[in-house]
Amino acid sequence: MKNILNKLLFVSSLIIATLSTVHAKEELIDRVAVIVNSGVVLESEIEDLLNTIKQQSINNNQDLPSDSALRIQVTDKLINDNLLTQIGERMGIQISDAQLDETIKKMAQENKMSLAQFRQTIVNDGTNYEKYREDVRTELIVGEVTRNSVRRRIFVSQQEIDNLLTIMKEQSSNDIEYELGHILIEFPANAKQKDLDAAKERANKVIELLNEGADFAKIAITSSGDSNALKGGNLGWKNINEMPTLFSELIIDQPKDTVVGPIRTGLGYSIVKVLNVRGREVVEVEEVKASHILIVPSVILSDEKAQVLLNGFLQQIDAGEATFAELAKEHSEGPTSVRGGDLGWSDPKKYDPAFQDALATMKKGDYHKPFRSSFGWHIVYLEDRRIVDATSQMNENRAYQLLFNRKYAMENARWLKEMRDEAYIEVFEKDDR
């Protein structure tokens, strides 16, 4: 009996030790780093993004700031993503696997790779491909939530468009584009004069460092409160009319590497650098006149049945039993059905990527076999192609977009700040044990 008791005590001690080890390992595997309303940001998410950015910096031969400064920016981005994803769920925004696949396919094409090569590149960088897919899905949802929410807050009047068109015609500098870098030294909420003075002092110090040859991207990642901080503050290519007025007046005619600022705005002090300068590119516009029949799969109608149905329509058209327009009016889903599927004249770039790809392979008078887009299954008839002089319409559209973008950046910052102020956010200090 004594031996049995001793064995039981030994086994029990082993079990307790094992459980303790398991629990200890579980604590090391992951932890909650931030609470964001009903969601959380995990330590593993922060580490994954940190590692991704570090790998990208190695690939691009780019210096990075200290781990602590980089961690602050990474955590801030993940908080925003988590918050906006929750808003997206409430808005019912979803990105289907088909939409995700098309987006990644386009990313591969932009990098001049096949999908298999693109996937292997991601894996070679040490990233799990399925996790990468879900990160892309998150970025798409965040983008959709932001656009939907901010767009409603922006109004561009016809008078504003007409005024800008007049200015655009008079400005020869409209042919010049500037690649800009931006650093925002933010004011704290309910800032007092001493806070404003401190922010300006920091901004002047940043300008001093830049004039001494410091790396702009590194300082932006370390210090900027702008949403482009993790991109090294790069705002992309803009002409004078696309910039906020406060920027454009200082940037116009400035050469590469010019640093201007600090520029006081409603959010803080801005510092802008001209990273590069180039002349405007001329783009010819091709339009297509096409019609389509759309069948949306459902629980009752599978993808396979949708393809069979559309192939049957093509056989009827080929046999002369029905016209494309007749079949579209009877069977197509969506607003074009009443017009016999007619999409009118349009720039093909406005269509879904899969629809663009289909049109790119077609000649006048062709019918395209069934294909899948993010909307469902289609067959397409290409009636004609043309090159048009769309200068007047393009200028008006461009003027609208310039005004919209000018207002969008500031309104986006305000909206995101409102969302952050209304949210419950609790950041836990990292335990390095």
Q: How confident is the model at residue 283 (pLDDT cuts 50, 70, 90)?
A: low
Q: What is the DSSP string of 347-363?
A: -GGGS-HHHHHHHHT--
List C-alpha distances in Å: 186 to 172, 181, 197, 206, 256: 34, 16, 12, 13, 26
* Annotated domain spans of the chain: 1-30, 32-151, 158-282+394-427, 286-387
* Structure confidence by residue, pLDDT tens digits, 313-369: 999 999 999 999 999 999 999 899 999 999 999 999 889 999 999 999 999 999 999
Q: For residue 262, say if its preceding peptide bond is cis, omega within 30 degrees of 0.
A: yes
* Structure confidence by residue, pLDDT tens digits, 101-126: 899 999 999 889 999 999 998 888 88
This prediction's pTM = 0.47
Q: How confident is the model at residue 288 (pLDDT cuts 50, 70, 90)?
A: very high
Q: How many of the other CB atoms lie within 10 Å of CB of 290?
A: 25
Query: What share of the chain in percent tops pLDDT 90?
Result: 30
pLDDT value of position 6: 43
Token output for 5: 């008791």
Instruction: Give Cα 167 distance to the centre of its chain.
Output: 31
pLDDT value of position 228: 85
Q: State the fold for domain 286-387.
A: Chitinase A; domain 3 (3.10.50)
Higher pLDDT, 358 or 192: 358
Mean pLDDT, residues 369-398 taken together? 87
Q: How confident is the model at residue 389 (pLDDT cuts 50, 70, 90)?
A: low
Question: Would you say 141 and 95 are in contact if contact means Cβ atoms under 8 Å apart?
Answer: yes
Mean pLDDT, residues 156-185 taken together? 82
Q: Which CATH number fits domain 32-151: 1.20.1600.10, 1.10.4030.10, 1.20.1250.20, 1.10.220.10?
A: 1.10.4030.10
Q: How confident is the model at residue 174 (pLDDT cuts 50, 70, 90)?
A: low
Architecture of the domain spanning 158-282+394-427: Roll (3.10)
Higher pLDDT, 277 or 19: 277
Alpha-carbon gap, residue 307 to 311, rounded angstroms: 6
pLDDT value of position 20: 44
Query: Which of 180, 269, 183 has the alpha carbon at shortest distance from 229?
Result: 183
Alpha-carbon gap, residue 235 to 43, rounded angstroms: 29
The CA-CA-CA angle for residues 379, 381, 383, to 5°, reads: 165
pLDDT at 431 over 80: no
pLDDT value of position 296: 93
pLDDT value of position 65: 87
* Structure confidence by residue, pLDDT tens digits, 219-267: 889 888 888 889 888 888 888 878 877 788 888 778 888 888 888 888 8
Alpha-carbon gap, residue 392 to 389, rounded angstroms: 8
pLDDT value of position 276: 87
Same CATH topology for 158-282+394-427 and 286-387? yes
3-class secondary structure, 403: helix
pLDDT value of position 187: 84
pLDDT value of position 432: 55
Mean pLDDT, residues 301-308 taken together? 92
**Average pLDDT, whole number, for the chain?**
84
Instruction: For 197-236, give one letter per residue: b (16+ CB within 10 A) or e.
Output: eebbeebeebbeebeeeebbbbbbbbbbbbbbbbbbbbbe
pLDDT value of position 318: 93
Here the contacts of 135-141 (C-beta below 8 Å, separation 24 or greater) are: 136/100, 136/103, 136/104, 136/107, 137/95, 137/100, 138/81, 138/85, 139/81, 140/95, 140/99, 140/100, 140/103, 141/84, 141/85, 141/88, 141/93, 141/94, 141/95
Token output for 156: 């561009």
Say which amino acid occupies 123.
V
